[in-house]
Amino acid sequence: MTKRVSCADVQAWMNDFMDGVLNADQAVTLTEHLHACQTCRREWEALEATQNLLRAARVPDGQSSRVSVLARFRQRVADTTLERAPVRRHSGRRSVAAPLGLATAAAALGLAGLLFLLQPALVPPASPPTDAWPSHGEVNRLLTLHAIHSADISADTPELHRFVLADASSSAEGESEEGGL
Amino acid sequence: MKWTPFHKSRTDTSEHAWRETYEAQIVQCWEALWRYAYRMTGNRDDAEDLLSEALVEGFRSFSQFRGDTRFVSWMYRIMTTTRIDMVRRARRRQAESLDAALSAGSGEEVKTREIADTGSDPVALLIEPMLSEEVQDALNALPEEFRAVVILADIEQMDYADVSRVLDVPVGTVRSRLHRGRALLRRSLAQYVER
Ligand SMILES: [Zn+2]
């Protein structure tokens, strides 16, 4: 027999039922009530129909916008980089940066080795060195590439993934700070 | 201080590699980003504006992306905050030039509408161009925060926890916004969903 429940209760449960987070007891009460009460059944059907309309609605093709959006993005990046680019350092000041560079170079080499071991096929070819020491950017680029590539393997080896990431980034930061002092 | 691509001195090669990597990620999830942008804004021009702005914002903090969420979810979040900022800025401008707007009439309403891409589904070809427009109008009528939740939960079908992470609001807030958003949509689409 149908449990005593108010229409207001049933309607308050409908969203949770729709999302599959209403407990089984209440779900059964709701279903039974829907059989017995036309008002609530209509309300439920309207909610379902709204959901279906939302999911069926299409958006215009976005591929044609891709090129122009990326072009605008590149322009903005180029403008900002030009605006903010600091004056190039004199070579004489290299000595200040050298210990830092040495540390980050070591970190980068270590990380590159890890990358190579983990996913040899995905390691991009190293660009020819333009400077004696790899820049922060270079180290960060490796870190990001590593993060992106290991996203693919994380499902299989989440512990390894997390360990490698944490290890690589903490050692890079740690050494940078030491080098800076 | 966190490192960001824009603010520190780096070689051109490195800057290029960063941008290339970032763009590759963007291109991979372009369709999802586009759908979200279009549904948040309701027309192509504003969707492109939103994406251009959000792409720049995303690139600024790309070095902080650790891969602990999917890249596309990370971008949804940036697009949502960017959109809310853009709307606030636009409202401020609107308020500042209220006199001008009043004398010029409502130009805001006249946005180019496009026929939605209905693919090759014959039923969709018959009924959807009209209905997609009605649905988009109903979505446009929702407050931004509600719209974001409805799009992510009901259209992209993410669960509460994922939406909560993307929008950085508690799960309870996601749930209540979703329920209220659905109720508003159900009412504005009443003539199509009531028998
Ligand atoms: Zn009832």
Q: Do A76 and B14 touch (CB under 8 A)?
A: no
- The reported pTM is 0.64
Complete domains list, chain B, with CATH = 1-114 (1.10.1740.10), 116-195 (1.10.10.10)
ipTM metric: 0.78
Q: Read off the pLDDT of residues A43-64 as tens digits, 9 standing for 90 and up.
A: 999 999 999 999 988 899 999 9
Q: Compute the C-alpha angle A164/B56/B169, nearest 5°.
A: 70
Question: DSSP labels for B62-85?
Answer: GGG--SSS-HHHHHHHHHHHHHHH
B194: chain A residues, CB-CB within 8 Å: 42, 46, 49
A69: chain B residues, CB-CB within 8 Å: 48, 51-52, 55
Q: What is the mean pLDDT of chain A?
A: 66
Reading the block at residue B19, the tokens are: 């941008």
Detail the DSSP E strand segments found in A49-169: none
Q: Which residue has the higher pLDDT, B126 or B187?
A: B187
* Smallest Cα distance from A47 to chain B, Å: 6
Is A104 near chain B, with CB under 8 Å?
no
Confidence of residue A177 (pLDDT cuts 50, 70, 90): very low
Reading the block at residue B60, the tokens are: 């600024």
Confidence of residue B95 (pLDDT cuts 50, 70, 90): confident
**Per-residue DSSP letter, A181:** -
Please report where in the chains the tokens 């009439």 appear, as a residue: B105
- Rounded mean pLDDT, B98-105: 61
Q: Read off the pLDDT of residues B140-189 as tens digits, 9 standing for 90 and up.
A: 999 999 999 999 999 999 999 999 999 999 999 999 999 999 999 999 99
Q: Which residue has the higher pLDDT, A41 or A104?
A: A41
Q: Give CA–CA dist B127/A139, Å, rounded.
A: 54
Q: Report the pLDDT value the prediction gives residue B46, as an integer from 0 to 100.
A: 95
Give residues with Cβ within 8 angstroms of B55, minimum separation 6: A69, A70, A73, B26
Q: Report the pLDDT value the prediction gives residue B109, as an integer from 0 to 100.
A: 45
Question: Smallest Cβ distance to B67: which of A66, A77, A147?
Answer: A147
Phi, psi dihedral angles at B112 (to 5 degrees)? -65, 130
B186: chain A residues, CB-CB within 8 Å: 46-47, 50
Reading the block at residue B171, the tokens are: 């799960």
Residue B4 has pLDDT above 60, yes or no: no
Q: Read off the pLDDT of residues A101-160 as tens digits, 9 standing for 90 and up.
A: 444 444 555 544 444 444 444 444 444 444 444 455 554 554 444 444 444 443 443 433
Q: Report the pLDDT value the prediction gives residue A124, as an integer from 0 to 100.
A: 44
B47 contacts A69 by C-beta, under 8 angstroms: no
Q: Report the pLDDT value the prediction gives residue B113, as an integer from 0 to 100.
A: 54
Domain spans in chain A, listed from the N-terminal domain onward: 7-56, 133-180
Residue length of chain B: 195
Q: Read off the pLDDT of residues B28-86 as tens digits, 9 standing for 90 and up.
A: 999 999 999 999 999 999 999 999 999 999 999 999 999 988 999 999 999 999 999 99
**B26: closest chain A residue by CA:** A70
Closest residue by Cα to residue A122 from A110, A112, A135, A109: A112
Q: Report the pLDDT value the prediction gives residue B100, as an integer from 0 to 100.
A: 67
